């Protein structure tokens, strides 16, 4: 079946959630004032900004005019080191609600464990189902005092902040790279040298490289002599770079690039390219393997539909798990089955994405094999209309938008869940894509 309905245009991507929340924390810990340009204004970054304000950091949001329209930029007046909890009138711990923002919960846990004060970190029910045990185990090796008020290994967390000194620490990286990133960001501020050894099979490794690059940009010295070992000198100080540009969200780029590969025309996304720190820039290479035409530039990527229809394949997408979800829905438009492997950590995200994806793909007629860490998708002869549940997961909503190119169309329940990272996604998507009319 031909889905050549057409996509054409340019997208100026909102800032990356992963980079934005790291940049907010590093700016708060740094000496000096930092202007964060192209700041993402979404639920997850709002939770981080609110938490930093509660910790006594001055955070000022303002709107600037940039190419592609108005953008939010955020000014952070750094505290020049770790935090001191404001004194509460009733001597209760400072409670910080972090929603379902893993990029706020994990790094703040590490930073507050080494700060002064009593803290309670909590979030939405799904956040309390997302494991954090490997990070807590690593911090306890450094002397941290952290309790689990409810279930061991999961938020909420009661943190008794205290001075940590540094030292040798081992951390399991097989569940989430965010645990490693959170630990690394706090270590330069401890007084002694630290050595970190990673255990297990490391997932989403490009996000660790992103964290190290950002730490260095803020003046920290990080040695990475071996793939599973870091050495970080103690007694360091983060220093503001004065201005820091937040790249466009490479995961969000995937939906527009896939749309062009499916429907024809050319889509160019601005804000991510060969110079990007984000591993998800590699998504377009997977589209190329499926038959799309791809052009990389330093800060942009353009995709067009290839001469031949898209074809399925067998892909290990451990390093780009968020963008891998877009390959799962793109597979519906390809010839032959598509296998996406080494994605166990889908199960630990905003929802159990592996089971959610299998469930919703079956609704439209696909034949699905769900494995513990993989999914195999055989597209149907004709995609059926379905009501797609989003599980309050922004990426479920956005990747299933691609089914709008089918004659049957698609109904996406609760599209507002995109506010987590891309509040205006559907507005931007519909502006660029000429969709077929439903029969």
| Residues contributing to the annotated binding site for phosphoenolpyruvate | 17, 102, 130, 178, 353, 395, 420
- Angle ∠(82,86,87) on CA atoms, nearest 5: 135
CA separation for the pair 302, 147 (Å, rounded) = 48
- Number of residues that make up the chain: 439
Would you call 322 a catalytic residue per the annotation?
Answer: yes
CA separation for the pair 64, 384 (Å, rounded) = 44
> What does the block give as tokens for 298?
């330093």
> What does the block give as tokens for 322?
């968020």
Q: Is 390 helix (H, G, I), strand (E, B) or coil?
A: coil
**The 222-226 sheet, strands edge to edge:** 168-172, 194-199, 229-232, 222-226
H/E run at residue 250: helix 250-263
Binding annotation = 17-18, 22, 102, 130, 176-178, 204, 322, 345, 349, 353, 395, 420
Query: Does a cis peptide bond (omega within 30 degrees of 0) precede residue 339?
Result: no
Q: Taking the CB of residue 337, how many other CB atoms lie within 10 A of it?
A: 16
Binding annotation for 3-phosphoshikimate = 17-18, 22, 176-178, 204, 322, 345, 349
Strand boundaries in 189-254, DSSP class E = 194-199, 222-226, 229-232, 243-245
H/E run at residue 378: strand 374-378
Q: DSSP letters along 37-101, please?
A: EEE--SHHHHHHHHHHHHTT-EEEEEEEEETTEEEEEEEEE--SSS-BPPPPTT---EEEE-TT-
Instruction: List C-alpha distances in Å: 374 to 187, 317, 326, 353, 358.
Output: 34, 10, 14, 11, 10
CA separation for the pair 214, 188 (Å, rounded) = 13
* Candidate list 322, 373, 393, 414, residue with the active-site label: 322
Place of tokens 């004032």: 33
Alpha helices in 320-375 (DSSP H): 321-330, 353-363
CA separation for the pair 380, 367 (Å, rounded) = 7
CA separation for the pair 436, 403 (Å, rounded) = 11
CA separation for the pair 250, 265 (Å, rounded) = 20
H/E run at residue 20: helix 17-29
Instruction: Report the DSSP beta bridge partners of residue 202.
Output: none
Catalytic residues: 322
């Amino acid at each position: 079946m031909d889905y050549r309905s057409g996509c054409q245009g340019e997208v100026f991507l909102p800032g990356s959630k992963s980079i934005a929340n790291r940049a907010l924390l590093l700016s708060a810990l740094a000496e000096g004032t930092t202007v964060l340009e192209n700041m993402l204004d979404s639920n997850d970054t709002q939770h981080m900004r609110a938490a930093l304000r509660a910790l006594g950091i001055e955070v000022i949001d303002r709107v600037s005019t940039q190419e592609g329209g108005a953008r939010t930029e955020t000014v952070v007046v750094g505290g020049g080191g770790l935090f001191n909890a404001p004194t509460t009138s009733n001597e209760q711990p400072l409670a910080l609600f972090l929603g379902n923002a893993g990029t706020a919960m994990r790094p703040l846990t590490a930073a507050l464990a080494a700060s002064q004060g009593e803290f309670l970190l909590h979030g939405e029910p799904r956040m309390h189902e997302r494991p954090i045990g490997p990070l807590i185990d690593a911090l306890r090796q450094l002397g941290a005092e952290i309790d689990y008020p409810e279930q061991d290994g999961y938020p909420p967390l009661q943190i008794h902040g205290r001075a940590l000194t540094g030292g040798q620490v081992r951390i399991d990286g097989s569940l989430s790279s965010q645990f490693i990133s959170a630990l690394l960001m706090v270590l330069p501020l401890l007084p002694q040298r630290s050595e970190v050894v990673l255990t297990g099979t490391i997932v989403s490794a490009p996000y660790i490289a992103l964290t190290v690059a950002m730490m260095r940009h803020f003046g920290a010295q990080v040695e990475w002599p071996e793939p599973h070992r870091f050495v970080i000198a103690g007694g360091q100080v983060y220093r503001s770079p004065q201005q820091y540009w937040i790249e466009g969200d490479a995961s969000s780029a995937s939906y527009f690039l896939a749309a062009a590969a499916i429907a024809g025309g050319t889509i160019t996304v601005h804000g991510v390219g060969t110079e990007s720190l984000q591993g998800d820039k590699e998504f377009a290479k997977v589209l190329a393997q499926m038959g799309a035409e791809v052009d990389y530039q330093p800060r942009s990527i353009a995709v067009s539909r290839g001469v031949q229809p898209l074809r399925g394949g067998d892909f290990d997408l451990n390093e780009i798990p968020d963008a891998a979800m877009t390959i799962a829905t793109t597979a519906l438009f390809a010839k032959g089955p598509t296998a996406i492997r080494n994605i166990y950590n889908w199960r630990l995200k905003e929802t159990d994405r592996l089971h959610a994806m299998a469930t919703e793909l079956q609704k439209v007629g696909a034949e699905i094999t769900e494995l513990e860490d993989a999914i195999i998708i055989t597209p149907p002869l004709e995609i059926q209309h379905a009501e797609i549940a989003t599980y309050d997961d922004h990426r479920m909503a956005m990747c299933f938008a691609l089914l709008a190119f089918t004659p049957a169309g698609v109904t996406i329940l609760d599209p507002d869940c995109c506010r987590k990272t891309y509040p205006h996604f559907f507005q931007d998507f519909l502006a660029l894509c000429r969709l077929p009319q439903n029969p």
